[in-house]
Chain A
């Protein structure tokens, strides 16, 4: 049986909220709650949701920045928590991350060369001459001038810094890159350049992406499949076209309706969600979305909907028919 590249099973991660004089954990913030999904080789899975829905926590669990409370992360069928030392090192080569703020994720006191040589040094690949040659190739691949090596991060613009972050992520030939809001901080005209670069690299190197963003238009454009998260849970997963044209969950529907459309002739059937997202410390009973759902029914308040599988690629959790 062929395994997907990455499979997440029932992943749960909560953070203690410490209170009082003795700073004891009184409550738990359920950041990610019983989440399952998979990513195939060379595929892009988009993960979309509002701030605080747990999408970044999920991404960080995958690159082992956080240790999940429950559940498994399987990479090519192997549980990443039971890897041997060498296998773990291998995993860390294969799964890389690109962060939102390219300035804060690059060491400002290191030159670009020093930043890009680090992955090779850590993983003990090649000699210095080989590494420098490889860096030239990387700079070329991400569209930076070849003399960038001796310069410092502050000498570059936001878009160029994100290219450096991308060069670092692809240095060791990863199979999966977790992109956490990788284009959100960039200007419109630069954002499209970086999206194109990531698409080109995927086509060339067969990299799979987990593309985390709050912007559904960008996610839909960039991904093969999209998972929509609300308050720590994935409420709907489908391929990009289905998410846009035939979405089933009322939350996905409201997300799409709330995106401003850059076309003055577009008359939106605006369905604006009321209220704020509830706190993950004390989530609502039943369906988490029932406090804001325009189609709420009595049973939604008590009965938590199970994941319904519509087609092999489309599933959602809602009581509505």
Chain B
């Protein structure tokens, strides 16, 4: 399946290239395939959204890029991850450690658990500066104050000597972003960066990531289940369902002319401010298949309102809808036509 490059732009050398990646977990119940043959690329400076429901493999994908899959169960069973042309899958561990935190930064969902509770904020930001940029301790502390100021933490001179429990959730997430950005990475992986935060704080953090990205020309892989966040921040979207990418395209491709019945169902089922109150929402029937018994055919088959006979026999390959838009569905042409009527 190597010829399927998801939404790849004409530029050949992508910043990140994930090619035919499969991830397996060895458990007592046997080997479970969390991710099957996914491919996508991210260009320098671009924001790519990875959207899907819990358990679809979004976070596992992010963890595999950073090689922080849970050990010893999790492993990349197939495919490659290339960053600036370097194959991260086969890279020696010390070299991988050099890339983590310096070239690729990562922001996790829970700011409260991502930080060390018994170390000061300043020490935690300084750590990567001392390690990757060879700064002295006073230099690193000064740089930490500067970056805290940049991410909008008030009175950073005082904050560097405080501990995580002294800060609010929104402030902690700013600190986590500060750590991720300290060494000016060219790629930021943000795994549900605002899910644990209140809406007003979420808006602040998303604005912050956008501003920093413009300043630093950084690429962002934004993982979220919230289609609103995707629409407001991303250039391109990857829609994941049960361990596979089922559709990819530009923001306008996905929101204006979704081709996969799952994407259409998702877009229809969210309550919006503009829909009339107390109306019934269109739903996707049933539930996501269990990872233990993913069908060998199209995985959306049992929930699909447009299923055909061959959907339960074969796996749909990725097809081009347009230059920027790809979908894996046998009936997408008919479905899209029907939707536009």
- Minimal Cβ-Cβ distance residue in B for A268: B232
Q: Nearest Cβ distance between residue A226 and chain B, in whole angstroms?
A: 9
**A260→B229 contact, CB < 8 A:** yes
A199-B278, A240-B277 are known contacts. Are A218 and B283 too (CB-CB below 8 A)?
Answer: no
Q: Is the CB of A262 within 8 A of B272?
A: yes
Distance in angstroms between the alpha carbons of A262 and B266 in the assembled complex: 11
Residue of B nearest to A46 (CB): B277
The count of chain A contact residues (Cβ–Cβ below 8 Å) is: 50
CB-CB nearest in chain A for B200: A273
Q: B282 interface residue, CB < 8 Å from A?
A: yes
Contact for A276 among B170, B256, B266, CB less than 8 A: B170
Who on chain A is nearest to B290 by CB? A157
B71-104 interface bits toward A, Cβ cutoff 8 Å, 1 = contact, 0 = none:
0000000000000000000000000000000000
Known contacts: A189-B53, A274-B204. The answer to whether A241 contacts B277 by CB under 8 A is yes
- Contact mask for chain B residues 256-290; partner A; CB cutoff 8 A; 1 contact, 0 none: 10000000011101111101011111111101100
B297 CB-CB contact with A under 8 Å: no
Q: How far is the CA of A264 from the CA of B249 in the complex (A)?
A: 13
Is there a chain B Cβ closer than 8 Å to A297's Cβ?
no
Would A187 and B225 be within 8 Å (CB), given that A51-B198, A220-B277, A221-B277 are in contact?
yes
B207 at interface, CB cutoff 8 A: yes
**A244 sits at the interface (CB 8 A):** yes
A144 → chain B closest CB, angstroms: 12
| Complex Cα gap A215–B230 (Å) | 17
A302 CB–B CB distance under 8 Å: no
Asked if A309 is at the interface (CB within 8 A of a chain B CB), the reply is: no
Q: How far is the CB of A71 from chain B (nearest CB, A)?
A: 27
List the B residue with the shortest CB-CB distance to A251.
B200
Is there an interface contact between B199 and A214, defined as CB atoms closer than 8 Å? Answer: yes
Say which residue of A160, A240, A272 sits within 8 Å of B207 (CB atoms).
A272
Question: B177 contacts the other chain (Cβ, under 8 Å)?
Answer: no
Nearest residue, chain B, Cβ from A195: B281
In the bound assembly, the distance between CA atoms of A246 and B89 in angstroms comes to 55
When chains A and B are docked, how far (Å) is the Cα of A196 from the Cα of B284? 12
Question: What's the least CB distance linking A114 to chain B, in Å?
Answer: 24
Verify A199–B273 contact, CB threshold 8 A: no
Contact surface of B with A, Cβ cutoff 8 Å: 53-54, 168, 170-171, 198-204, 206-207, 225-232, 251-252, 255-256, 265-267, 269-273, 275, 277-285, 287-288
Q: List 22 A-B contacts (CB under 8 A).
A: A51-B198, A157-B288, A188-B53, A189-B266, A190-B287, A191-B269, A192-B282, A192-B284, A193-B283, A199-B278, A215-B199, A216-B199, A217-B271, A221-B271, A222-B271, A222-B277, A258-B203, A260-B203, A260-B206, A261-B228, A270-B203, A272-B200
- Contacts A240-B278, A261-B272 known; list 10 others, CB within 8 Å: A187-B288, A192-B270, A217-B272, A221-B277, A258-B199, A258-B202, A262-B227, A263-B255, A264-B256, A272-B207
